[in-house]
Amino acid sequence: MSDVDRSIEGVAKTVAAVLANQKYSIDYYQREYKWESKQIAELVADLTTKFLDLYEPDHEREDVAKYPGYYLGSIIVSQKGGEPFIVDGQQRLTSLTLLLTFLRRLQQDRSDRVDVDSLIFSEKFGKKSFNLDVADRVDCMRAIFDRGGYEPTSADPESVHTLVARYEELDGLFPDELRDAALPYFIDWLKDRVQLVQITAYADDDAYAIFETMNDRGLKLTPADMLKGYLLANIQDGMPRTKANELWRKRLRELDDKAEDASSDFLKTWLRSQYADKIRERKRDARPEDWDRIGTEFHRWLRANYERVGLTNRQRYYDFIAVDLEFYSRQYERILVASQRALDVASPLRFVRYNADHRFTLQDQLLLAPLQVGDSSTTIDRKLELVGRFVDILLAWRIWNFRATDYSTMQYAMFTVMRDIRSLSVEDLAEALHKYLTNVTETFDSNDDLYVHQQNRRPLHKMLARITDYITVASGQASNYVELTNGAKVKYEVEHIWANHFERHTDEFSHESDFARHRNRIGDLLLLPKQFNASYNDDPYSQKRPRYFSQNLLAASLDPQAYEKNPGFVAFAQSTGLPFKPFVDFKAADVVERGELYRAIAKKVWNPDDLMAVAEEDG
């Protein structure tokens, strides 16, 4: 076969054929792994739902070979002199590799385990390497493969932090009914019945031409395309259909310009927020419901539920695009922008940014749920603020009580809230959300021993930033939240007031482990620039304290100078009654006292009564 004849190949391959004993490189500009919680959750839900539709407990292993193949999408590979480079599809392949690594550990003590090692790494000339060959991920992937976890450092790239976060979520995402007898069946099916179309080009220009064309929607029909085709087919031919088509294309393209896959995410979020009435129950053999189906096949769901959606005549089909999609896509775009752009501390959408910084993507469906076509701009903003505040408070309480806030843990509860607040007025929405919070038992008062550990360091960083920013703004200074959360040039870290020197505290602690545990309590923590910590981390408190005065107000409040040279801060402390005080020394009891100060501030930052105040403003 000549080089011309082999310029492009397209072959449907199983996951095993794509990954087994293969080694793929990724160009430097493609190397970031960016999938969020909702994307890994939807991949797992998609795969496990399809498998459960096929599997029966009385099947034999060999019956899996007769299950229909399942198409998971396409990947584009550029073959550069014998070395394949992934041009498109590395997000999906990386996520599949994480899932296979999780499944490998899940079945490691079983006699019927399925060998998946060759799908994760390959061995040549006695040297093992991961099949997705990215140098700065190697230590992370090896630790996950060997030990089931990795603790990222501040020096690790963002992709490594994302890899670890997504891997840690898999245990909560993978359904219980597939962990016992069905597990080897599922792994067999994933390896040998799930397929990808691998498009291989033997010249970079060809590979990227294919990539661009496919992303212009010329070579594949996405679920969004199929949904559009169904809707347009039911709209009167001529000008109405043309206008609806143009509007659909314009709005979805504008969303995709804001974020990757934003148009597809919007359609799922919109349909869930307005129409999903049921979610899969948390029990064995439960079947997917509206919420789940919309997440995996929204185009089929809508065709099967057109009457529930109100698509009863040609005009309603037209309005569904020209009115409903136009309205909800505009609000979804505002949510996207609020979660990504510079923080506006005066905006009612500021809480969207706070929640997005916790990577809480489930907020999107809640934000859209109470909105109604015809709501005024003021009403829309009030509703978005109410829902944003509600999520903000709920997340803060869960973090304070060591509770998970990931997608899989929260999806059932957030579905219930979404369903219950659909189409509510501002006043009814505030009352419903406030009532929900009053029934939550774990608040700031339920835990007086918050401490930092590896898994909660990131969310605690965000909470400390909010506490610090609250003090800063209330003292008359400009907000520093973005800077504190590393949105500027200076990099901040969660740091300890006590240096890690047990020998300095033997008068209060007889065991080093007790000292270390007390040192990690919330009252001993600050947000400080990495450079500051590098310079003064080992110094005793008496030497660090005067230097804290030049840092943010939460740090400065440890030093007497803050109470002498900052009238705005002094006025704030007096007006709120918050128990601020300087600490000449900083002993074990002072760590506890300082923690109580943080708790008192947190109660003001995250106050459920603020919901009712927002509703009163609307009135």
Residue 427 scores a pLDDT above 90: yes
Residue 8 scores a pLDDT above 80: no
pLDDT category at 7 given cuts 50, 70, 90 is low
Q: Are residues 453 and 440 in the same domain?
A: no
CB 344 within 8 A of CB 350: yes
pLDDT category at 74 given cuts 50, 70, 90 is confident
Residue 27 scores a pLDDT above 50: yes
**If you count them, how many residues does the chain have?**
619
pLDDT category at 287 given cuts 50, 70, 90 is confident
For position 218, what pLDDT does the model report?
41
Model pLDDT for residues 515-558, shown as the tens digit of each residue: 999 999 999 999 999 888 778 888 999 999 999 999 999 999 99
For position 207, what pLDDT does the model report?
55
More confident residue, 202 or 74: 74
Range of the domain at 107: 8-213
Angle at 421 between CA 416 and CA 423, to 5 degrees: 135
Of 219, 292, 215, the residue nearest 253 (C-alpha):
215
More confident residue, 112 or 535: 112
Q: Are residues 246 and 363 in the same domain?
A: yes
Share of the chain above pLDDT 70, in %: 93
**Residue partners of 13: CB distance under 8 A and separation at least 6:** 195, 196, 197, 198
For position 418, what pLDDT does the model report?
98
For position 217, what pLDDT does the model report?
44
Model pLDDT for residues 315-333, shown as the tens digit of each residue: 999 999 999 999 999 999 9
Q: Which helix (H) or strand (E) holds 526?
A: strand 525-529
Task: Look at residue 615 and tell me if it is in a domain.
Answer: no
Q: Are residues 204 and 257 in the same domain?
A: no
Average pLDDT over residues 152-156: 82
Q: Are residues 453 and 439 in the same domain?
A: no
Average pLDDT over residues 240-257: 94
CA distances from 526 to 266, 474, 552, 599 (A): 38, 18, 9, 14
Q: Are residues 205 and 281 in the same domain?
A: no
What is d(CA 295, CA 39) in angstroms, rounded to the nearest whole number?
Answer: 10
Task: Look at residue 515 and tell me if it is in a domain.
Answer: yes
Of 138, 30, 152, the residue nearest 91 (C-alpha):
30
**Residue partners of 428: CB distance under 8 A and separation at least 6:** none
For position 215, what pLDDT does the model report?
52
Question: Domain end: 213, 231, 255, which one?
Answer: 213
Question: Domain end: 445, 462, 495, which one?
Answer: 445
Residue 454 per-residue DSSP state: T
Number of domains the chain is built from? 3
pLDDT category at 368 given cuts 50, 70, 90 is very high
pLDDT category at 582 given cuts 50, 70, 90 is very high
CB 528 within 8 A of CB 496: no
